[in-house]
Structures are given as structure tokens and as C-alpha cells.
Structure 1
């Protein structure tokens, strides 16, 4: 590794200063990439906290026994109750139910459903073409 750095230094006009600038640019690029990832992670955690409070309760119930853990479990249960009262968990529950129905389908059922959707799309296109044909004719 040191040989590679020494070769880079010899190729650059400014020697150590140029290598340091390259290293600083690389470090800055890495820092920005990590910051972007951390932001995305926090946003994802916040969305899960808001939209999936039932899973939060399930997760926290697996914690050990202790004063901090008991507090976290109680807070997550209270949060889930408030989310249920406000109805904010309904979209995630509806999406989960829809995915569960798709998971339980056999492949032949999926093919039938896809064929039905294709037929509906063809019918819609035919109706649209008919309406366009009437206006120009």
C-alpha cells in the first residue's frame, strides 16, 4: 500500500500536497455518502414508527426485563394504541392484507387474474379508440 502511495506521489507534481488534496476529497466524498445514508435510515425509521406501530410493539416485547426495557415496552404499547385510535395504522394493515392474499394464491390464480387485467386494459383501449374515432369522423 505504501508503495502505491509513493508511486502516486512521484507522478503528481505537488507531491505530498496533491496526495493530501486527493485524500481530503475522497474523505469528503465518503463523509457525504455516509451522511446521506444516515438521513435515509432515520427517515425510514421514522416512517416505520408512524406507519407500523404494531410491529414496533412485537419487536419491543422481545426485550429483556429491566426498568429501561419495561419503559420502552410500555411506551411502544401506548404509541400503538394512539395510532390505532387515530386510524393511522389502517393503510399498512390494508397493504399487508393485500400482500398476504397475493402470497396465498396459486400460480394458476395469478395467471387468471393477470389475464383479466389484460382483458380490461384491451377493453379500455378499445373504448378510447372508439371515442377518438367518433370525434374525428
Structure 2
């Protein structure tokens, strides 16, 4: 890194000021990258709060005992109840059930599913193409 800074200093007529500008640009780029990452994490947290509230309850139940922790556990349990009543947990429950079903499948069942999906895809492609000679050719 020091070699790079020295090379920048010798190539630019401004010397240390140029190196400082490069460092400032690098710091600004890093700050922007961290800000984008932080926004992505907040968005992920919001999605998890909405669609995976039962996992949130499981996670906060592992907290220690105390007034703040008890409040967080109570709020997450209430949030999970509201999400279940509203039906927002249904997609995550269905996805988790499907993943568990695939985990429990044997290789023979897996190969059977792959073959049936391949057959469905070929049938769909055949239907999209239509009969030979029926097109506007």
C-alpha cells in the first residue's frame, strides 16, 4: 500500500495533496459501500420480520433473563401472532415444508422427480411449438 502511495505521489505534481485526495476518494467509496450494505441488511431484517416471524421468536427465546430481554420476547411473540392471524407466515411455512420434504427424500425419489420435471418441460416445449406444419410457414 505504501508503494502505491509513493508511486501516486511521484506521478502527480501535487505530491502529498494528491495522495490525500486519493485517500479521500477511497474513504468515500468505502463509506458508500458500507452504506449500501447497511441498507441491504435493514431491508433483509424487515423482510424476515414480516415473513419469518416464527424464527424470530425462536431466536429471541434464547436471550437471557432481564427486563429488556423479556420485553423483546413478548413483542416478538405478539408480532408472530399478528403475522399468523394475517396469513403472512404461510409462504415461509410452505417453503420450509417443501425444503424438509426434499431433505427427507431418497435419491430414487429425487431422480424420479427430476425425470418427471424433465418430461413436463419437454411436453410444455412440444405444446409451445405446436404440430409440425401448422405454423404460418
Task: Please confirm whether the aligned pair reaches a TM-score higher than 0.5, indicating the same fold.
Answer: yes
Q: Which residue of 2 aligns with 1:51?
A: 51
Give the deviation of 1:2 after TM superposition. Answer: 5.2
Q: Which residue of 2 aligns with 1:83?
A: 83
* TM-score for the superposition, normalised by structure 1: 0.90
**Rounded Cα–Cα distance in structure 2 between residues aligned with 1:18 and 1:99:** 55
Q: Which residue of 2 aligns with 1:116?
A: 116
Moved more, 11-20 or 83-92: 11-20
Unaligned runs of 5+ in 2: none
Q: 4+ residue runs of structure 1 moved beyond 4 angstroms?
A: 1-4
Write the deviation string for residues 83-128 of structure 1: whole angstroms up to 9, x where unpaired.
1110100011001101111111112211111111111122222233
Q: Which residue of 1 aligns with 2:28?
A: 28
Q: Which residue of 2 aligns with 1:40?
A: 40
* TM-score for the superposition, normalised by structure 2: 0.90
Unaligned runs of 5+ in 1: none
Give the 3 Å change call, closer, same or farther, for CA 121–12 of structure 1 in structure 2.
same
The root-mean-square deviation of aligned C-alpha atoms, in Å, is 1.8
Give the deviation of 1:34 after TM superposition. Answer: 0.4
**Rounded Cα–Cα distance in structure 2 between residues aligned with 1:83 and 1:2:** 54
Give the deviation of 1:9 after TM superposition. Answer: 1.8
- Tell me if structure 1 keeps the 8 A contact 2:8–2:18: no
Which structure dedicates a bigger proportion of its chain to helix? 1
